[in-house]
Amino acid sequence: MRITSSFVAALASMLALATPAHAQTRVELGVDAAAVFGLGDQSSVNITFPASRFRVGFFQPGSRVSIEPSLGLAYNKTEGADGLLFYDLELGALYHLSPILVATSAGRDFEASAVSPYIRPFLGVTGITGSDNGDSEFSAGVGLGTRLGWRTDLAFRLEANLGYGFDNKAARIGLLAGLSFFPR
C-alpha cells in the first residue's frame, strides 16, 4: 500500500509542477519507443516497441523551454499470481537549442517542420505495484536529442540519454525514437 501511495504522490507532484498558472500557447503530444541499457552489478536490457510512454510538452510563451511530463504503464497478470502494474513517470524540461518560433505574417507562430535540437534534463520514478515486493526507484539524467519536422503538425524525435538510478546506484543509457503531434 505504501508503494501505491508513493506512486500517486509522485504522479500528483509531477502534474502540479508541469502545469503552470498561465495559459499555454502550444502543446506537443507524443509517444516514444525505447531501448534502455542498465549498467552496474546486474546489467539489463529493456526494449519497448512501438510505444513505451506517452508525453505532453507544454511550450513556455516567449521561451526556448518546454516542460514535459511523461507516463508509461504496463500491466501483467498471470493465472494464480497477483497482477503487476509497472509504471514509469518522468518530468523533463527541454531547452531547444534553436528557436521553435518563427515570424509569420500573423506574428510569431510555431514551426514544427524545422529541425530543432534540444537538451532535456529529467527526474523520474519507476516501479512495480501489486506484489509483496513492490518497489520504486527515483532517477535523474539528461538527454540530447533533435526534433525532425515531417509536416507542419507532425515531427519525429530522436534522443540519447544517460540516467542514474539512486536506489540501485546504476547508470542507464537510453535511446528514444518518437512521433510528435502538434494540435492547432
User: Given this model, what pLDDT does residue 131 score?
Assistant: 61
Question: Could you say which architecture CATH assigns to the domain 2-181?
Answer: Beta Barrel (2.40)
**Digit-coded pLDDT (tens) for 78-103:** 888 888 888 999 999 999 998 765 54
Q: What is the pLDDT of residue 132?
A: 66
Distance CA(78)–CA(74), nearest Å, equals 13
pLDDT at residue 22 is higher than 50: no
What is the C-alpha separation between 67 and 59, in angstroms, rounded?
7
H or E element at residue 15: helix 2-18
Task: Look at the pTM and tell me if it is higher than 0.75.
Answer: yes
- Candidates 45, 39, 93; CA nearest to 67 is 93
- Model confidence at 67: pLDDT above 80: yes
Question: What's the rounded mean pLDDT across residues 71-77?
Answer: 90
pLDDT of the residue at 3: 47
Task: Report yes or no: 160 and 144 within 8 Å, Cβ to Cβ.
Answer: yes
